[in-house]
């Protein structure tokens, strides 16, 4: 078959396409970074995992040491059992503490491991016993309001709450008149 310039151009075109695909896979996607070599898996039970998802990072001292493999619900104990895969290079003591943290204020959730002091190390299939649940913001706000309410209940006998309301409405009125542009 004769070679033509069209063949050359189509070849270049397809090569560009393959290169773009490789670029997307390697540079943009997580095809390279999700591989963490040989791993061992341990489980940890949480009462609440928040919005933790499979493939979420497992970090210790801020370094990614593994990934969350899967999350299942234990219907006997009513808790979530999280299986995490940790890179074989990293060894953790048996009394390691597992927390669920949030990256930043709005970021994704990850598992944080804090090493304990035991001599024994975690092995494949072991269970992390010391865990701390994900922080649920609504729960925290609820507790805060509850504690505030109980505080103010103790105070309310000495100071009537209507005074605060009066002050507020008075201020609102003054701004309405005082800040008028004309």
Interacting residue ranges for another protein, rule: CB under 8 A:
1, 4, 6-7, 9-10, 12-14, 16-17, 19-21, 23-25, 27-34, 57, 104, 106
- Cβ burial of 84 (10 Å; 0-12, 13-18, 19+) is buried
Q: What minimum distance in Å lies between the beta carbon of 27 and another protein?
A: 7
DSSP state string for 2-63 = ---HHHHHHHHHHHHHHHHHHHIIIIISSTTTT---SEEEEEEEES--TT--TT-EEEETTE
Nearer to another protein, 28 or 154 (CB): 28
**Residue 176 in tokens:** 């309405």
For the CB of residue 31, give the shortest distance to another protein in the complex, in Å. Answer: 4
Closest approach of another protein to the CB of residue 65, in Å: 15
Question: 17 or 142: whose CB is closer to another protein?
Answer: 17
Instruction: Work out how close the CB of 10 gets to another protein at its nearest, in angstroms, rounded to a whole number.
Output: 5
* Sign of the CA dihedral with 137 first, then 71, 43, and 85 last: negative
Cβ nearer to another protein, comparing 104 with 178: 104
Report residue 134 CA to chain centroid gap.
8
Compare residues 33 and 121 and give the one whose CB is closer to another protein: 33
Helix (H, G, I), strand (E, B) or coil at 175: helix
Q: Which is nearer to another protein, 28 or 177 (CB)?
A: 28
We find the least distance from the C-beta atom of residue 70 to another protein, in angstroms, to be 16
Phi-psi region of 98 (alpha: psi -120 to 50; beta: other; left: phi over 0): beta
């Amino acid at each position: 078959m004769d070679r033509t310039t069209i063949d050359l151009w189509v070849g270049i075109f397809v090569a560009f396409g393959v290169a773009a695909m490789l670029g997307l896979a390697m540079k943009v996607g997580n095809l390279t970074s999700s591989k963490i070599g040989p791993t061992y898996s341990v489980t940890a039970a949480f009462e609440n995992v928040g919005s933790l998802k499979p493939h979420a990072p497992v970090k210790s001292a801020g370094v990614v040491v593994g990934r969350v493999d899967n999350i299942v619900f234990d219907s006997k104990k009513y808790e979530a059992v999280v299986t995490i895969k940790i890179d074989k290079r990293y060894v953790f003591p048996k009394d390691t503490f597992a927390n669920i943290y949030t990256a930043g204020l709005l970021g994704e959730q990850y598992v944080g491991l804090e090493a304990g002091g035991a001599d024994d190390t975690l092995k494949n299939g072991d269970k992390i016993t010391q865990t701390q649940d994900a922080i649920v913001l609504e729960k925290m706000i609820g507790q805060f309001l509850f504690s505030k309410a109980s505080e103010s209940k103790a105070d309310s006998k000495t100071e009537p709450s209507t005074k605060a309301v009066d002050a507020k409405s008075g201020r609102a009125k003054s701004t309405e008149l005082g800040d008028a542009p004309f």
